[in-house]
Amino acid sequence: MHFTDYAKIYVKSGRGGKGCVSFRREKFVPRGGPDGGDGGKGGSVILKATGQMSTLLDFRYKREYKAENGQGGMGKKMYGKDGEDLVIPVPVGTLIMFEDTDEIAADLVKDGDFYIAANGGRGGQGNSHFATPTKQAPMYAQPGEEAEEQWLILELKLLADVGLVGLPNAGKSTLISVISSAKPKIADYPFTTLAPQLGVVKIDDGRFVVADIPGLIEGAHKGAGLGFQFLRHIERSGILLHLIDISDMADGNPVEQYEKITNELKKYSAELTMKVQAVVATKIDIATDRARLDMLAEYCDTKKMKLFRLSSVTGEGVNDLLYYLKRVLEEKKDEKACC
């Protein structure tokens, strides 16, 4: 499946139906009065979040969305039929912005959240509304209200509790495949992960969602590599895990790896560096040079950051990490509940 997290669409509501100009024509009523009915209301365009979608791929193939026009009024004070609303499903986590100003229109973060992107035009009143003692046969009615139209930007930000960040080949895909049922592509070359992967982790009676973000490289905040287009997905994460390869095959020292990633996060959004963060030393099963691990441990101790030593292959350290994440997420949930 292709992952699409950005789309531009055109929406247009239905035009209101025009009011009717009509007069009663009955055999024994020589002077029948005005009886023109009102026009129907135009349909609205509504964007509604659903958990049944995980990508904006559908909007790659269809970009224009128009609701139904309201019908015109009729004689005998008969109302025109309202146009049907057009409800467009979008994934939970979709941010909606006005294309011309980049202003945020809505943020659909829960299943069922909706945004009326274009209101249907009001139907025009028929001439039966305009009769007065001095003007008993009005020959006019209101036109229907015009439709609303606009271009919108849709941007999907995944709703993950935990975001995995790190350089390419840091072990993110392997870890998420071990702790959840997600099946990302895993290989020994950079940028194996070409799109974000979500995995649901079940532990005891709880569960949380982890997002594996494509590997970041220096300059990612400017668009280098693949990271820039996916950094938005960790903005909603409550915890960031920095995965650092400390095996003998890793390039550079582990502290530099951490600082490179942190620098890219800070340049993209300073708020990212304010999240709860922990460091995970990966591939310890093939790390014979303990100096690299000791260097990272000393650095984390200085920065007062939690450090986990982990091997996704042997399972060493995995449970400790999962119980830590579960505890921190529960604490964050309690904080929200009491405030």
Domain ranges of the chain: 6-156, 162-338
- Strands (E) located in 31-189: 45-50, 64-66, 86-91, 94-98, 104-108, 114-118, 149-156, 162-165
Residue 193 and residue 106: Cα distance in Å, rounded?
Answer: 30
Report the amino acid identity of residue 326: K
- Which among 213, 277, 288 has a CA at the least distance from the CA of 241? 277
Q: Tens digits of per-residue pLDDT, 214-227?
A: 755 444 444 434 44
- Which among 242, 171, 239, 250 has a CA at the least distance from the CA of 210? 239
Per-residue pLDDT for 186 more than 70? no
Q: Tens digits of per-residue pLDDT, 40-96?
A: 999 999 999 998 888 898 898 899 999 999 999 999 889 999 999 999 999 998 989
Write down the pTM of the prediction.
Answer: 0.66
Only one residue has tokens 């993950």, namely: 160
Answer yes or no: same fold for 6-156 and 162-338: no
98-126: average pLDDT: 92
Report the amino acid identity of residue 252: G
Question: What was the pLDDT predicted at 119?
Answer: 97
Q: Tens digits of per-residue pLDDT, 245-276?
A: 999 888 778 999 899 888 888 888 888 888 89
The CATH class given to the 162-338 domain equals alpha beta
Backbone angles phi, psi at 197, to 5 degrees: -120, 135
> Where residue 183 falls among pLDDT bands split at 50, 70, 90?
low
Q: Is 26 helix (H, G, I), strand (E, B) or coil?
A: strand
Token pair in block for residue 256: 């530099």
116-132: average pLDDT: 94
Residue 231 and residue 124: Cα distance in Å, rounded?
Answer: 48
Q: Tens digits of per-residue pLDDT, 20-36?
A: 999 887 776 655 789 99
Q: Is 151 helix (H, G, I), strand (E, B) or coil?
A: strand
Q: Return the CATH superfamily for domain 6-156.
A: GTP1/OBG domain (2.70.210.12)
